[in-house]
Amino acid sequence: MNLEEYKGVYVFAQQVDNQLSSISFELLGKAKELAADLKEQVTAVLIGYKVKDLADQLAEYGADKVIVVDDPELETYRTEPYAHALASVINQYKPDIMLVGATAIGRDLGPTVSARVATGLTADCTKLDIGDFPLVAIPGKEAEQKHNQLLMTRPAFGGNTIATIACPDNRPQMATVRPGVMQKIEPIKGAKAVVEEYNPGFTPNNKYVTIKEVVKAVSDVADIMDAKILVSGGRGVGSPENFKLLEDLAEALGGQVSCSRAVVDSGWKPKDLQVGQTGKTVRPQLYFAIGISGAIQHVAGMEESDLIIAINKDEDAPIFDVADYGIVGDLNKIVPQLTEKIKAMKAAK
């Protein structure tokens, strides 16, 4: 493998139902920074059926070039035709870096493609930088230190440790990136990218599965990852009915309700409201943690919030270790009064 042949920062532009996912723009935002460091270009790989129209949007969010793989086989995500599409693009265009969202799609596509093109893949990254590997040259072996490497940082052990990983001898350097962590750029209206169509040909084989049915969850709730204020409840809320207290508070604040894993496991709230390691990563301006003990897996999904206020009756709850303000007390008494107080404050304005 001649590593010098591999150039450019590529992102997998995930779309579902011909709508680009938020992660695609987040990846472009980060790719633009990495490309600036490397003095290379940002290329989005857009895979689907009748998706070419989305290229302009990718340009507005930072893509210099868009490679479109458009084929009827790609209408709905399936591992095989998508893996074939992305692996073929990699083999044809030889990217230096290939970023994929750590979504339910990307965490299936990424590993399959990395195994196919025989390179490393670092999962669920929360930080990406360009730097040296090893970080510090080994004395006497300075010439062996590699520069301009992608340094991929990710949590492990349920968020207890953090590791920075490099892929020095294989290309592309591949990472899946946790949604909600990287920042999109302010879209540049009217920006255009070079659009190139590429079709490697799709011949169904044993790896093509059949989609018998697509069942969409009926949800009128906005994505908690986009919320500015979250009122999050845990097992301590006590019952699904008692979440009404949190809903009222969220409404008074103009925010949304989210929850911990325990609440989802108990069947009180749907999975798409779950914050944490196996749920969503959120970084709102204000995060209320109410009746949430603060298991490390939960904290991993919310600790980047600007302001964290915790209410818990257990003085030793670990949530108090990450909260900016911790209130030891009974949520059943505090929350309804707080709701009234906030309503009064807003009315007084």
* Residues 76-95 close enough to bind another protein by CB under 8 A: 76-80, 83
Cβ atoms of residues 177 and 102 within 8 Å:
yes
Q: Is the dihedral of CA 219, 54, 35, 8 positive or negative?
A: positive
Non-local (6+) Cβ contacts of 201 within 8 A are: none
Binder of another protein out of 90, 98, 123, 275 (CB under 8 A): 123
Non-local (6+) Cβ contacts of 278 within 8 A are: 261, 297
| Structure tokens given for 92 | 């044809």
Q: What does the per-residue mask of binding to another protein show for 97-116, with x meaning CB under 8 A?
A: ------xxx-xx-xxx-xxx
* Residues 181-210 close enough to bind another protein by CB under 8 A: 206-210
* Residues 31-60 close enough to bind another protein by CB under 8 A: none
Phi, psi dihedrals of residue 129, rounded to the nearest 5° = -140, 165
Residue 315 is a binding residue for another protein (CB under 8 A): yes
Binder of another protein out of 144, 169, 197, 226 (CB under 8 A): 169
* Residues 144-163 close enough to bind another protein by CB under 8 A: 151, 155-163
Residue 227 is a binding residue for another protein (CB under 8 A): no
Residue 308 is a binding residue for another protein (CB under 8 A): yes
- Number of residues in the chain: 349
For the bound state, the minimum distance from the C-beta of residue 306 to another protein, rounded and expressed in Å, comes to 8
Binder of another protein out of 229, 242, 251, 283 (CB under 8 A): 229
Burial of 315 (0-12, 13-18, 19+ CB in 10 A): exposed
Which region among 28-36, 46-54, 193-201, 317-325 touches another protein (by CB under 8 A)?
317-325
For the bound state, the minimum distance from the C-beta of residue 154 to another protein, rounded and expressed in Å, comes to 8
Residue 268 is a binding residue for another protein (CB under 8 A): no
Non-local (6+) Cβ contacts of 27 within 8 A are: 11, 12, 13, 99, 100, 101, 177, 182
Binder of another protein out of 166, 177, 237, 275 (CB under 8 A): 166
For the bound state, the minimum distance from the C-beta of residue 288 to another protein, rounded and expressed in Å, comes to 9
Closest CA to 95 of 51, 20, 34: 34
Which region among 30-38, 44-52, 183-191, 325-333 touches another protein (by CB under 8 A)?
325-333
Phi, psi dihedrals of residue 90, rounded to the nearest 5° = -60, -45
